Structure 1
Amino acid sequence: MALQESTAPDPYQTYFEPTVYLNYFKMGQSPVGDECLYFLLKHYHAVFKSGGLKGKLLIDIGSGPSIYQLLSACEAFEEIVATDYTDKNRLELEKWLKKMPGAFDWSPVVKYVCELEGDRDKWAAKEERLRRTVRQVLKCDVHKEQPLEPAVLPLADCVLSSLCLEAACLTEEAFRGALRHLRTLLRPGGHLVLGGGFDSSFFMVGDRKFPCLPLKEKSVREALQEAGFVIEKLETKARAAETLSDPDADYTGMFVLVAKRSD
Structure 2
Amino acid sequence: MDRSSYKLYHKHDHDSRTYLETYCSGSSDMTFKEDILTLPTEKLHNALSKGHMTGEILIDISGGPLVHHLYSACEFFQESIVLRANEQCIMEIMKWHDDRTGAFCWGHAAAHVADLEGRSDQCEAKEMKLKSAITHVVKFDPETETLADLIEVPQADCITSFGFLDLVCKDQDDFKRNLRKILTLLKPGGHLILFGGINISYYTVGEQKFHAFSYDEKVTSNVLLDEGLTILQCEVTPRKSESQLTDFDGIFFITACKQK
TM-score w.r.t. length of structure 2: 0.91
Aligned residue pairs total 253
Consecutive unaligned residues in structure 2, runs of 5 or more: 1-6
SS of the aligned residue for 1:14 comes to coil
1:37 match: secondary structure: helix
Aligned amino acid, residue 130 of structure 2: L
* TM-score normalised by structure 1 residue count: 0.90
For the aligned residue pairs, the C-alpha RMSD in angstroms reads 1.9
Provide, for residues 13-64 of structure 1, a one-character-per-residue CA deviation record: whole Å limited to 9, x for no partner.
4321100011111132431244221111110111222624110000001353
State how far apart, in whole Å, the 2-side matches of 1:141 and 1:222 are.
Answer: 25
* Gap runs ≥5 in structure 1: 1-8
Q: Quote the Cα distance in structure 2 between the aligned partners of 1:21 and 1:149.
A: 30
Residues 1:215 and 1:172: Cα distance change in structure 2 (over 3 Å): same
How is 1:99-178 mapped onto 2 (pairs within 5 angstroms)? 99-147=99-147, 149-178=149-178
Q: Which residue of 1 aligns with 2:204?
A: 204
Judging changes above 3 Å, is the alpha-carbon distance between structure 1 residues 198 and 178 closer, same or farther for their aligned structure 2 residues? same
Cα 1:10–1:203 shift into 2, 3 Å = closer
**Which of residues 17, 20, 32 is equivalent to 2:18?**
20
Shift in CA distance, 81/102, structure 1 to aligned 2, threshold 3 Å: same
Are the counterparts in 1 of residues 200 and 249 from structure 2 also a CA contact under 8 Å? Answer: yes
Say which SS state the counterpart of residue 104 (structure 1) adopts: coil
Task: Tell me the equivalent position of 2:253.
Answer: 256
1:185 paired residue number:
185
8 Å Cα contact 1:191-1:260 kept in structure 2: yes
Equivalent pair of 1:25/1:34 in contact (CA under 8 Å): no
Q: Deviations over 1:161-215 (max 9, x none)?
A: 0011111112111111111111110111111110111011111111211111111
- Provide closer, same or farther for how the CA distance between residues 103 and 255 of structure 1 changes in structure 2, counting only shifts above 3 A: same
- Identity rate of aligned residues, in percent? 31
User: How far, CA to CA, are the matches of 1:150 and 1:220 in structure 2?
Assistant: 25
